[in-house]
Amino acid sequence: MEIEERRKAILSILVDAGHVRVRDLGRRFAVSDDTIRRDLEVLSGQGFLQKTHGGAVSLDVPSIRREVRGHIAGDAKAKIGEMAAEHLTPGATLVIDAGQTTLEVARRLPPGPFTVITLSLDVALALSHRKDIRLIVVGGEWNAEQRLFRGAATIETIGSYRATLAVMGACAVDPVFGVTASEEWDGAAKRAMMRISERRMLVADHTKFGRREPFFVAALEEFDLFMSDQETPPKNASATRSAEPLAG
């Protein structure tokens, strides 16, 4: 395994487990403890984890660079994309949020016609070759790191459209606090997309569960569909019914 592949795998393990030990990683990847310590040192220097005696903890998923984040829970995101695509009906107008999981949904859109509204360049590029899709890219201030448009102009433009379904991603999903965002502008954009939509679908893998970020987006009960690779911890019975993943 190449160095970068091993480090991405370490990040994935940290997201799932919350902590790792040098000795366990050394056995898993068949490398020396010193090699693992160097990997953790590099990842720590990039702000992805906090080193501890004998290992590391506290991966901050929202702060990870987009290209690295795309490799975390990749199989889960692909599975969610497949499940979500089964609920998309030709003729619908979709507003698709930015994010790796929503991108997997976009890649699996069934044959159209569809109208797709998005602020994500990656979603737009994934659909740009599709002649059966009317594509609307919402402009505004360009964010090169996240590869999307944001700001007041973006939100105003979103408000001028109406959609059948909003396909929404999440920074964090908590049974009590609902869906929250790590940036104020992201929370505002997500709320705008939900306001223009008849129905709302939340797509989020298990690494987002039990996390809380500062900016409120919506309660879980506000989503008509919730697609995930695992069931989120329920707040109560009614929340479980409205938020549980639907079988594909």
Residue-wise pLDDT tens for the chain (248 aa)? Answer: 788 888 888 887 887 776 788 999 999 999 999 999 999 888 887 767 778 888 887 555 555 555 555 556 677 889 999 999 999 999 999 999 999 999 999 999 999 999 999 999 999 999 999 999 999 999 999 998 889 999 999 999 999 999 999 999 999 999 899 999 999 999 999 999 999 999 999 999 887 888 889 999 999 999 999 999 877 655 543 333 333 433 33
CATH architecture of 73-243: 3-Layer(aba) Sandwich (3.40)
Residue 14 pLDDT = 80
At 106 the three-state DSSP class reads helix
pTM of the predicted model, to two decimals? 0.72
In the block, tokens 């393990």 appear at 13
User: Which tokens is 110 given?
Assistant: 């069934």
pLDDT of residue 74: 74
Largest CA distance in the chain: 57
Among 57, 47, 53, CA closest to 13: 57
Q: What 8-state DSSP symbol labels residue 207? A: G
Cβ contacts of 227 within 8 Å, gap of 6 or more: 80, 83, 84, 87, 201, 202, 203, 204, 245, 246
* Helix, strand, coil percentages in the chain from 3-state DSSP, rounded to 5: 40, 25, 35
pLDDT reported for residue 61 = 57
| Rounded CA separation 210/198 (Å) | 27
Domains of the chain by residue range: 3-59, 73-243
pLDDT at 7 (0 to 100):
87
CATH code of domain 3-59: 1.10.10.10
pLDDT digits (tens, 9 = 90+) for 139-161: 999 998 889 999 999 999 999 99
Query: Which run of H or of E encompasses 38?
Result: helix 33-45
